[in-house]
Amino acid sequence: MELKWTNARDRGFIDLAARLDSHLDALSPAQHALCAPHNLLDGDALVALIFDNGQPVACGALRLLGDHTGELKRMFVHPAFRGHGLAREVLRALEARAVTEGCRMLVLETSPALSAAVSLYRSVGFRPIDHYGPYRGMNTLCMGKAVGEDAATASLQTGRGQ
């Protein structure tokens, strides 16, 4: 397995994102139709792809929102490769890249019905936040997490860093 950085124009990312869209559409066509326009990424989005024998099998993207905030997008692991920690590996890479890019906060939007994804996000420190941007008023779950120096400060202030 190998992780590579690319952009949203990468064919492997486009193929995995299409599989993700099919999955989300099957889960909730109406909700997917509402959220789909907000899932489009410009070509400069930072994309992490994991390859197995040259084939892309997992992905995630980082959209820089400004104000030291990054948004995680398009997290997906090919069904045949689930259960091997690849989503966690993509998350770690995206968080490290976000810190390198100057982010102090990461946010994401997901469906509450994606229980495995929600559990993963919680396990790495994401917590529910108010809906932001285009997701205000939607029946989705928004989550956030302080990263970098802000995460260390928050951890010390709450006693979790001891």
pLDDT of residue 161: 45
Delimit the domains of the chain by residue range. Answer: 2-157
pLDDT at 157: 46
**CATH number, domain 2-157, options 3.30.565.10, 3.40.630.30, 3.40.50.720, 3.40.50.2000:** 3.40.630.30
80 SS3 class: helix
Q: Give residue 43's pLDDT.
A: 73
Distance CA 63, CA 85 (A): 23
Q: Are 103 and 69 in contact (CB under 8 A)?
A: yes
pLDDT in tens, the chain (162 residues): 999 999 999 999 999 999 987 877 777 655 655 655 666 677 778 999 999 999 999 999 999 998 999 999 999 999 999 999 999 999 999 999 999 999 999 999 998 888 999 999 999 999 999 998 888 888 889 999 999 876 655 544 444 443
> Hey, is 18 helix, strand or coil?
helix
Whole-number pLDDT of residue 36: 57
